[in-house]
Structure 1
Amino acid sequence: MLAQAAEAVPPVRPHAAVAYEQKLDGHRMLVFTPDGPGGRVLLQTRRGNLVQGAFPDLVAAAEQLPHGLVLDGEVLVWDPEAGALSFEGLQRRAAARARTAPALAARLPAYYMAFDILQQDGTELLTLPQRERRRRLEVLFAARALTAPWTLCPMTTDVATAREWLESWTDVSGVEGLVVKSLTGRYTPGYRGWTKVKRRDTTEAIIGAITGTLTHPQLLILGRHDTTGRLRTVGRTVTLRPDQARQVAEHLTAAGPGHPWAGAKFAAAWGRRDVLDLTVVRPDLVAEISADRAVDHGVFRHPVRFTRLRLDVGVDDVARFGEGLPSLDDE
C-alpha cells in the first residue's frame, strides 16, 4: 500500500479514527517467514526484488519470528562510526553480493522497523481494519519479546503529539516526517490510501547552471561553496512554474570563462546515470529553496522547490557546503 504526499498534517474530520506513524528514511521491505520448518525467509523490496542475500543479518534474526508471517516496514542501516542512521550505508547493503554481504553487515548492521502485519499463521489479514492489524502487530512484538533488529514503528492517535513529532523528531537523523493512516482502512496493495507528510526547511543556495535557456529556464542546478571556495553542487529544483521562470530569467547572465562547472555532467536524479543538458550561468544569484531532510554528504537527495530569488543576499552569505539546512526563521 502506498502514500500520497501532502504539505501539512491533514485536518482531522469529526469522528474520524486516524493514526500517525513516524516516517523513517529507509527502504520499503516485506518480510516473509516460511510456512513451516525448512522453508526460506524472503525479503522483498517495493519493486518486487528479492534481496535476502544482501541482508543475511535480517534472515538470521528471523528465527525470532513465527512461521507464516508477512510484515511490512522499512529496512534501516546504522553506521556505528557516525552514530546515526545512514542511507548511503543502506544503499551499499542493498547492492551487496552474497559473498560480501556478511562482512558489510558486520560493519553496517540492518534494522527493520515494522508498521504493518499482512499475514499471520498463514492467514491473510489485508481486509482487516488498520486498527486490528496494528493491535496484532503490537501483540506479536510483546508475545515474542522481539528485540533488535526488529523494531515497532512509533504510532500515536493524538494529532498534537504527531505535530510535535513532525517539528522535533525530524531533527534526528533519519526521521523524515509522518505517515497518516485511517484506523478503519483496509490494506489495499498499489493504492495510495495513506498520506505522507515530510518536514521541509527553507534555506538558500547559489544558482550555478540551468536547463532550458537563459530566457526560459526550466530547472535550476544549485551549489554552495566549500571551505576552499570551490562551488560544489548540492542539487536541483523541480521544474519552475512559468512565473518563477520569468523571475529568474530577468537576472540570469551567461557564464564567463573559467566557470567551475564548465564541462561537468550532472545526473538527472539521485542514483541515476542519465545526465542533464545544462547551460552554466554566472554564479552570482542566490535562490531561496524549500527542501526535505534527505541530505547525503551535503547534497539534497530529492529535487528541491524554488521559492524566490534572494536579491538581498550575496553568495558569501549562503551557508557553506555540508553545513546542513539552516532555517531562514533562525536568522
Structure 2
Amino acid sequence: MITDKDHRLRALAEDGRWPELLAAYRQGRAAAVVQAGEQAAVDLTAPLGHLIAYSAPPELAVRLFDADGGEGTVAGVADHDAGPLWEVLATRHSWLRLAPLLGPAPVRRLVAHTRVLLGEDLSYGAEPDPDGVPLRLEPWEAAGWDEASRVREYLPGGGARSAVLTLPASREGLGEVELPEPGGRLGGQRVTRALAELSALAPWVEVVCVRGQAQLAAAVLTRRRRVIGGYLPFALACPALVQAAAVGRTHGGAHGRLGLWRALGAMAGAEGPDRTEVNALVARMRCFTWQEPAAGLRHLHLALEDPASGVAWAVSGSQEF
C-alpha cells in the first residue's frame, strides 16, 4: 500500500531534495532503533535507503554510511531492501566516483569488489584488499557469465532482478554416469568449513569432503549410483558458487566473491587467497556436476576435486523457492 508519506518522499526525490530525504532517513532510523531495535530500524527505513542509494548523487548517497548523523542513523553493511544498500550504490557509480567519498572500511571493501564483479579493474589506484583478494577479475572468473548477471539489477522504485541459482542449468553436455559406492567423510577440513561459510545463506546446501575423486564426493550426497552428470570447467561452476553466498537479501555478490577466494585459498593449502596458488588450483581442478530428479527452483550440485592433494569436496542442495 502506497501511503501519503511515500508520495511526499517521492515528490522530494523528483525535486532533487536529497538532503531532506537523508535527514528523514536518519531521523526515522534513529527513532526506530530506540523504539524497536536495530532489525526493526533496518526494515522500516530500507525503502527510503534504497531510493537514496539508487537515485541520489553519489556525494549524498554515500552519507547513508557515515556516522556524522549521530547514534542509530548510519546504515551498516547489513542494511537492505531488495539487496544491501551498499550494493545498490555500487551498481550506480564507478569506483572513480565513489572512492574519494566512501569512508567506512567494510563498506569500501564490499563496494570495491562489487565494482570488480561489474568489470572494473581496480588493481591500480585502489588500496589493496586486506586478505589479498585480487581487485580485478581473473579470466576464469569472467568467462562463465555475462557482466550483467554478476550482480543484482536494482530497480529505481525498489526491488531487483537476479540470476536464478542453478547448477546444472540443463542436461546439455551431461550423460548417464555410474557413481562409485560412497566412502567415509573427512572431518575438520578447513576447506569444508570455508565452503560451508560460502553457502551459509543457502541453508539447504550440504558440504562434504572425501579422500578421492569428484564422483566419490558426489556419491556421498546424491545417494544414487546412476545419475545424469558430467565434467565442466571451473569457470562455468564459478557463478553458482558466488551466487550461493548472495541468495539472501542481506548479502551481495561481493560476499560471494570474497568467500569463494577464501575457499579456494584453503583448497590450495595457502594461508590466504594467494592469487598464484589459486590460479594454479583452478587450472588443475576437476569439477563434476549432476542432476537430481526433484531439483527445486534453486539448486546446486557440484563436486570439486584437487588431483594434487587427492581430496574432493561436494556442495549439493535444492530449494523450491
Task: Give the TM-score range, shorter chain.
Answer: under 0.3
More strand by share: 1
Give the TM-score normalised by structure 1: 0.27
More helix by share: 2
Give the TM-score normalised by structure 2: 0.28
Larger radius of gyration: 1
